[in-house]
Structure 1
Amino acid sequence: MLKQLNSIRYMYIRSHMYGLVLNTFILLAIILSVYVWFQPAWLSTGAILFFIMTYVIIGFLMAMYAGFQSSGDLKQRIDYISTMITQLARGELSSRIYFNENDEIAGLGDELNELGEKLSQQKESLLKLADEKGELARSAHKAATIEERQRLARDLHDAVSQQLFALTMMAQATERIFDKKPEQAKEQLTEITQTALQAQTEMRALLLHLRPVDLSGEPLAEGITQLVEELKQKCPITFDMNMEEVHGLSKTVEEQLFRIVQESLSNILRHANATEVTILLSKSNGEVFIHIEDNGVGFNTEEKKVNKASYGLKNMKERCEEIGGDFTIRSREEEGTYIDLRIPVKAMDEEE
């Protein structure tokens, strides 16, 4: 009810009422002045009251009528503008409004039409950008898939394929000397066994690398634990796990960290010849900390920087830096390898 009384139509009626009250007081002052100064016989107190009452009643009715009539056109034009704004809010950007008058409200209608035109153009631009983004995403995914296939093909050729070829050659040579030189054949069988085990390890590492990155809604600690449990069933490696539940990580950060751990375990299987691996996950002082350690053969970090085999290390470092983290690797020959990841909480909050 109060909202209706504050509408434009009632504002017009109130403005006419203010005029009626003002005119009534002015007229009453004139009549009283005439009554006091001239005291005509026809101007009595009753006549003054009757005249004022009649004037107020007629003026009230006229103010109501004039207020409704004069505000009708303005209210209709404002309703058009309100409808136009509602349509624009609903996404009906083709809506337009036109007035025959040449006043401020007509100018407001023209500005709304211009706004609708600009919004329509921006919508078309956004749709075009969305299509281009989708096309770029598909192209990037295709390029990444091709690059990954090429890398796996190189790994298969450089490692497993060559080892299988060596196995074939050694097996054929052993078969030829088996009866004549049994001792040498036995030594070659030992080498065949070692080569087969190495090829098996390489294949497991490649299969580990192909493992899906999706954690399926599981926390990072649980995902890493499941990954290690799978490796325990396939590899003669002892794992020492100390996993702390870390909350507040975004899905993107968890997947990147899981991928880094997966890449590091793949490198350990393929190159380290380790028998013990330690994995720590904790959160302290506003940082998530991951430590991965093995007792393998180690390597010279300076030589790795210029070696093609350092592709996996470079990939892990880039993934860590993408989420605002710090990647550190320490290794020496015959002394194992140590990898430390530090992800600040602030970087995780921004990612979320």
Structure 2
Amino acid sequence: MTAHTPVDPIDHAIRMVEEERRRIARDLHDGPAQALTNLSMRLNLIQRLLVNRPEMASSEIDKVNHGILQAVNEIRRLIFDLRPISIDELGVIQATRELCHRFAREWNVRIQVESDDATYFQFSAAKQMIVFRLITEMLNNVHKHAEATHIQVRFTYQPSAWRVSVTDNGKGFDTHAIPQGRYGILGLRERAELLGGTLRIESTIGEGSTFTIEIPQM
């Protein structure tokens, strides 16, 4: 296994902020901005149809209305990502359950969350937020790459550490041949190391994958 240089907390924090900025810009460009551009083109079409083919205008109006609802839902998702579920109020395990409930509905996949006794999860709200971000990123990776129909998130307590794993039944991949930048592996590893933890990846082509974060109790 290749040795990794220890993560400097300040450098890491700056890098995470910049990554979030780039991700939000990309999501806005690929999502609502593109959708609104398409809706503007459809409105121009409707304007012409009202003059020449009024019977077709109604169908196009329905499509525009559907597109607007999709754009609104995407904007709400981005707002949720900027202001996630309150870790202070719920704790990371319950917050993860609510996140998975939303993702399961939006992605039409089964997501199961299992946990040992949450009272042993003795981390500050800030550290629990990092864990929550890790889980969110792992779930998004599954959604983007794995083509899975079932995902399991598991919190497992050990006397000296917590393990948080995300397992899917997707297409899997060769862990020795991951393209540079694919799956956000570097970001996941750096976030885990910021908590003094480690990232382990297990995957078999055609049989799914498991991403496991091990975090020492402090």
With normalisation by structure 2, the TM-score equals 0.64
Query: Which residue of structure 1 lines up, in the alignment, with residue 207 of structure 2?
Result: 335
1:307 and 2:180 correspond:
yes
| TM-superposed deviation, 1:292 | 1.1
Secondary structure of the residue that 2:100 maps to in structure 1?
Answer: helix
Distance in 1, matches of 2:159 and 2:94, equals 22
**Corresponding residue for residue 316 of structure 1:** 188
How far did 1:334 drift?
A: 1.9
* Alignment map for 1:1-352 (pairs within 5 Å): 145-154=17-26, 207=78, 210=82, 212=84, 214-244=86-116, 245=118, 246-304=120-178, 306-310=179-183, 312-345=184-217, 348=218
3-state SS, counterpart of residue 216 of structure 1 = helix
Instruction: Report the CA distance shift for 1:293/1:324 in structure 2 as closer, same or farther (over 3 A).
Output: same
Deviating runs (4+, > 3 A) in structure 1? 143-147, 151-157, 206-211
Contact conserved, 1:295 with 1:335, CA < 8 A, in 2? yes
CA positional deviation for 1:308: 2.6
TM-score, with structure 1 as normaliser: 0.41
Q: Per residue, is there more strand in 1 or in 2?
A: 2
Rounded to whole Å, the distance in 1 between the matches of 2:101 and 2:172 is 24
Judging changes above 3 Å, is the alpha-carbon distance between structure 1 residues 146 and 307 closer, same or farther for their aligned structure 2 residues?
A: closer
- Which amino acid counterpart does residue 319 of structure 1 have in structure 2? R
Distance 1:230 1:154, change over 3 A: closer
Q: Distance in 1 between the 2:83 and 2:148 partners?
A: 21
> Deviation per CA, 1:219-247, whole angstroms, max 9, x where unpaired?
22111111112223222111222122134
By relative contact order (CA 8 Å, sep 6+), the higher-ranking structure is 2
Contact 2:86 2:95 in 1 (8 A): no
User: Deviations 1:35-67 (Å, cap 9, x if unpaired)?
Assistant: xxxxxxxxxxxxxxxxxxxxxxxxxxxxxxxxx
* 1:151 positional shift: 3.5
Name the larger-Rg structure. 1
CA RMSD of aligned residues (A): 3.4
The number of aligned residues is 169
Amino acid across the alignment from 2:189: K
- Contact 1:213/1:255 (<8 A) preserved: no
Deviations 1:196-229 (A, max 9, x none): xxx99xx69x847555274133222111111112
Q: Which of the two has greater helix per residue? A: 1
Q: Deviation digits for residues 106-155 of structure 1, max 9, x if unmatched?
A: xxxxxxxxxxxxxxxxxxxxxxxxxxxxxxx9xx76x8555433234446
**Structure 2, unaligned runs of 5 or more:** 1-9, 39-69
Matched position secondary structure for 2:123: coil
Structure 1: runs of 5 or more not aligned: 1-136, 168-198
For residues 289 and 275 of structure 1, the distance between their equivalents in structure 2, rounded to whole angstroms, comes to 23
Identity %: 27
Residue 87 of structure 2 aligns to a residue whose secondary structure is coil
Q: Cα–Cα, structure 1 residues 272 and 209, in superposed 2: closer, same or farther, change >3 Å?
A: farther
